[in-house]
Amino acid sequence: MDTTRVILLLALAVVTSMLWQDWQTDYGQTAPPQSQQQAQTPSSPGAGSQAAAPGPAQNEVPAFNGEEESHTKAAEKPAATAAPAPRTLVKVRTDTFDLDIDTRGGSIVHAALPDYPQKLDSKKPFDLLDDTGQRYYVLQGGILSKGPAPTHQSQYSAKKHEYTLGPHQERLEVPLTWHGDGITVTKIFTFQRDSYVIDIRYEVKNQSGQTWRGRGYQQIKRSKPEKKHSSMVSKRYYTGAVLSSPDDRYKKIDFDDFKDKKLKKDIVNGWAAMLQHYFLTAVLPSDQSVSYRYYTNTVDDKYYTIGAIAPQQVAAPGETALVREKIYAGPKVQSRLEKVADGLDLTVDYGMLWFISKPLFWCMKELHDLTGNWGFAIILVTVFLKLAFYKLSAAGYTSMANMRRVQPRIMSIRERYKNDKTRLNQAMMEIYKEEKINPLGGCLPIAVQIPVFIALYWVLLESIELRQAPFIFWIRDLSAPDPYWVLPVLMGITMFTQQKLNPSPMDPIQQKVMMALPFAFTIFFGFFPSGLVLYWVVNNALSIVQQWRITRNLERAGLSTRGKK
């Protein structure tokens, strides 16, 4: 019994250690090399003419059965000796976005989210997209055609350089215009209030003498993220591409797979996305009933692209064709994502224990709606879990109480048969049978808690609703460690108290290990999200009360060892 329990506790310690390593992987990122920063740091973006931001050479255009003209690539490819071309940024401000659109290509080169500060005490919004500083991460789009058409390298013109969604406006349209050989294309971005979906449509006016045909495309391009050291568990939050189809609703495409497994797949009712912690950008079909061509591309193993090509549109001379695209750029809020596209909420990745994590999050969200505080929601969820497993825990605690009751007899037998292991085991099994004790019963409370503990860890790390969520007093962010280590110390105290209620191991080495565990766990939990430690403290406190009552009831029932040899 003692050996089994120690093994289980040590296994829990290993799991905790691995989780801690994952947390370090996620949050302990090192700064990029100075040479890389210098190579990528330009002037800040803004309205008006500026030097082009550094980034990959803008000379790759997706192909669809040779539909784009070869002269288009050549014409758009910048000369190697040419000076950086000036660019004009169109600034757009809505209630959900603060973004910049480059008139070169009509690309979204910067997008900040005002509702999500970068840091707890900062008013600076989180930068989801950016083509300056330490990374290159943009949304691009254009039209593929054998005739004249703008790609994400073409130069547009803009009537205004600033657009703002007014307090009484529900939508905002931002038009850009391109002209070429009798074809006029107006690219219109449409923003809706309280939405992270951006609708894009191209109005292609054919004033030439020939029928025009073209396919719209939208793609997400980003630089390769900083390399992280793998831990013993898979990296917690996933950074990379994802492709969804009715056959495989959530297929990860790691950056290492871009070069070796180039994607070119026709899918009906699918989507493609780039994920990072808490946020994502996704290319969505404007019509879920037709087939889109999804593709990937990589440049110099540094820049990665995933996108989709829409069905062909036709404009006869004198007619206007409409090419529609749709993108999502924002937080991983499950209630929003499930309304945008089928399976998009799967980007909130709870891992292999999702079947536990999802009900946990749903329950926490409902309780948060009642209490208005995620910390109280965690406490109430812990109470409900404790009630749900009450009988199972009671059986385990009863077994441990009985083990403690017969411990003097076990010690006497150990002393008597210390040189005869076979006889010792037989005598111990006789005592267990006589007292109706399951020697493994005390392991159940711990075994039950481990998957719930890990599932809640995933919820706390992956659910953006808990990002920067306050509790009370000094706990201002339940997704971050306790800054004063109060909760980890309380966790260590409750763990030590639980040990005192359990029978002590017979072996002196085991006793030392058991005594060291509360201190080791206190250190481990000091680096965990405070919401997770809060759960563990409350769970331990409830376990102590339950175990104390069970032990007291057994003693009152006269189950003592007095007079027994």
Q: Higher confidence at residue 468 or residue 94? A: 94
Helices (H), 463-529: 486-501, 508-525
Q: Higher confidence at residue 359 or residue 23? A: 359
Residues 479, 460: Cα–Cα separation, whole Å: 6
Q: Could you tell me if residue 526 is inside a domain? A: yes
Q: Would you state the pLDDT for residue 196?
A: 97
Helices (H), 333-443: 334-340, 354-371, 374-388, 390-405, 407-416, 421-435
Q: Are residues 119 and 242 in the same domain?
A: yes
Cα separations (Å) of 469 from 124, 351, 407, 460? 17, 22, 47, 10
In the structure encoding, which two tokens stand for residue 348, read together? 């909130």
Q: Would you state the pLDDT for residue 34?
A: 38
Residue 179's contacts (CB-CB under 8 Å, 6 or more residues apart) are 185
By 3-state DSSP, what share of the chain in percent is helix, strand and coil, each rounded to 5? 40, 25, 35
Q: Could you tell me if residue 434 is inside a domain? A: no
Q: Is the pLDDT of residue 250 over 80?
A: yes
In the structure encoding, which two tokens stand for residue 556, read together? 């009152």
Average pLDDT over residues 239-268: 89
Average pLDDT over residues 34-62: 44
Residue 132's contacts (CB-CB under 8 Å, 6 or more residues apart) are 40, 41, 42, 44, 45, 53, 54, 110
Q: Are residues 364 and 319 in the same domain?
A: no
Q: Is the pLDDT of residue 438 over 60?
A: yes
Q: Are residues 223 and 307 in the same domain?
A: yes
Q: Are residues 365 and 249 in the same domain?
A: no
Q: How many CB atoms lie within 10 A of CB 172?
A: 19
Q: Would you state the pLDDT for residue 315?
A: 94
Q: Is the pLDDT of residue 401 over 80?
A: no
Q: How many CB atoms lie within 10 A of CB 351?
A: 18
Q: Could you tell me if residue 380 is inside a domain? A: yes
Q: Would you state the pLDDT for residue 35?
A: 35
- Expressed as residue numbers, the domain containing 325 is 46-75+85-346
Average pLDDT over residues 237-243: 88
Residues 125, 117: Cα–Cα separation, whole Å: 4
Q: Would you state the pLDDT for residue 60?
A: 64
Q: Higher confidence at residue 493 or residue 226? A: 493
Question: What's the number of CA atoms in the CB half-sphere (13 Å) around residue 384?
Answer: 13
Strand spans (E) along 237-277: 240-244, 251-253, 264-268, 271-276
The overall average pLDDT reported for the chain is 80
Q: Would you state the pLDDT for residue 81?
A: 38
Q: Are residues 126 and 159 in the same domain?
A: yes
Tell me the CATH number at 247: 2.70.98.90
Domain count for the chain: 2
Q: Is 284 in contact with 328 (CB distance < 8 Å)?
A: yes
Strand spans (E) along 118-170: 125-130, 137-144, 162-164
Q: Could you tell me if residue 401 is inside a domain? A: no
Confidence band (pLDDT; 50, 70, 90) for 72? very low
Residue 436's contacts (CB-CB under 8 Å, 6 or more residues apart) are 402
Q: Would you state the pLDDT for residue 505?
A: 59
3-state helix/strand/coil string of 181-194? CCEEEEEEEEEECC
Q: Would you state the pLDDT for residue 389?
A: 78
Q: Are residues 92 and 217 in the same domain?
A: yes
Q: How many CB atoms lie within 10 A of CB 84?
A: 12
Average pLDDT over residues 61-72: 54
Per-residue model confidence as pLDDT tens digits over 148-175 = 999 999 999 999 999 999 999 999 999 9
Q: Would you state the pLDDT for residue 242?
A: 95
Residue 292's contacts (CB-CB under 8 Å, 6 or more residues apart) are 266, 267, 268, 270, 285, 308, 309, 310, 311
Q: Would you state the pLDDT for residue 564?
A: 43
DSSP, collapsed to helix, strand or coil, labels residue 323 as: strand
DSSP, collapsed to helix, strand or coil, labels residue 151 as: coil
Burial class (CB in 10 A: 0-12, 13-18, 19+), 348: buried
- Share of residues in the chain with pLDDT > 90 (%): 44
Q: Could you tell me if residue 518 is inside a domain? A: yes
Cα separations (Å) of 314 from 144, 146, 284, 288, 308? 12, 12, 21, 20, 19
Q: Are residues 247 and 181 in the same domain?
A: yes
Confidence band (pLDDT; 50, 70, 90) for 101? very high
Q: Is the pLDDT of residue 43 over 80?
A: no
Q: Higher confidence at residue 551 or residue 334? A: 334
Q: Are residues 341 and 362 in the same domain?
A: no
Q: Higher confidence at residue 416 or residue 482? A: 482
Per-residue model confidence as pLDDT tens digits over 256-293 = 888 777 889 999 999 999 998 899 999 999 988 999 99
Q: Are residues 191 and 263 in the same domain?
A: yes
How many residues make up the chain in this entry? Answer: 565
Q: Higher confidence at residue 438 or residue 540? A: 540
Place of tokens 């763990």: 495
Confidence band (pLDDT; 50, 70, 90) for 76? very low
Q: Would you state the pLDDT for residue 499?
A: 78
The secondary structure element, H or E, covering residue 356 is helix 354-371
Q: Is the pLDDT of residue 299 over 80?
A: yes
Q: Is the pLDDT of residue 23 over 60?
A: no
Domain C-terminal end among 346, 366, 397: 346
Q: Are residues 208 and 60 in the same domain?
A: yes
Q: Is the pLDDT of residue 78 over 50?
A: no
Q: Are residues 222 and 137 in the same domain?
A: yes
Per-residue model confidence as pLDDT tens digits over 209-239 = 899 999 999 999 999 876 654 433 334 678 8
Q: Is the pLDDT of residue 458 over 90?
A: no
Q: What is the pTM of this model?
A: 0.78
Beta bridge partners of 88: 49
Q: Would you state the pLDDT for residue 16?
A: 56
Domain C-terminal end among 289, 320, 346: 346
Rounded to 5 degrees, what are φ and ψ at 10? -65, -35
Q: Among 326-330, 392-396, 454-458, 540-544, name the one with the lowest average pLDDT.
A: 392-396
Confidence band (pLDDT; 50, 70, 90) for 495? confident
Sign of the C-alpha dihedral, residues 426, 428, 434, 438?
A: negative
Q: Among 77-81, 458-462, 559-563, name the one with the lowest average pLDDT.
A: 77-81
Q: Could you tell me if residue 417 is inside a domain? A: no
Q: Are residues 364 and 271 in the same domain?
A: no
Residues 115, 461: Cα–Cα separation, whole Å: 19
Which is nearest to 64 in space by CA: 314, 307, 324?
307
Confidence band (pLDDT; 50, 70, 90) for 26? very low
Strands 162-164 and 86-93: parallel
Residue 158's contacts (CB-CB under 8 Å, 6 or more residues apart) are 88, 90, 103, 175, 176, 177
3-state helix/strand/coil string of 27-48? HCCCCCCHHHHHHHCCCCCCCE
Per-residue model confidence as pLDDT tens digits over 331-369 = 999 999 999 999 999 999 888 888 999 999 999 999 999
Q: Would you state the pLDDT for residue 441?
A: 59
Q: Could you tell me if residue 266 is inside a domain? A: yes
> Which amino acid does the sequence have at 389?
F
Rounded to 5 degrees, what are φ and ψ at 443? -80, -20
Residue 104 DSSP code: B
Q: Among 80-89, 320-329, 513-522, name the one with the lowest average pLDDT.
A: 80-89
Q: Would you state the pLDDT for residue 547?
A: 79
Confidence band (pLDDT; 50, 70, 90) for 198? very high
Q: Could you tell me if residue 142 is inside a domain? A: yes
DSSP, collapsed to helix, strand or coil, labels residue 164 as: strand
The secondary structure element, H or E, covering residue 201 is strand 197-206
Residue 194's contacts (CB-CB under 8 Å, 6 or more residues apart) are 95, 96
Domain C-terminal end among 324, 346, 368: 346
Residue 78's contacts (CB-CB under 8 Å, 6 or more residues apart) are 57, 58, 59, 85
Average pLDDT over residues 473-496: 90
Question: What's the number of CA atoms in the CB half-sphere (13 Å) around residue 100?
Answer: 22
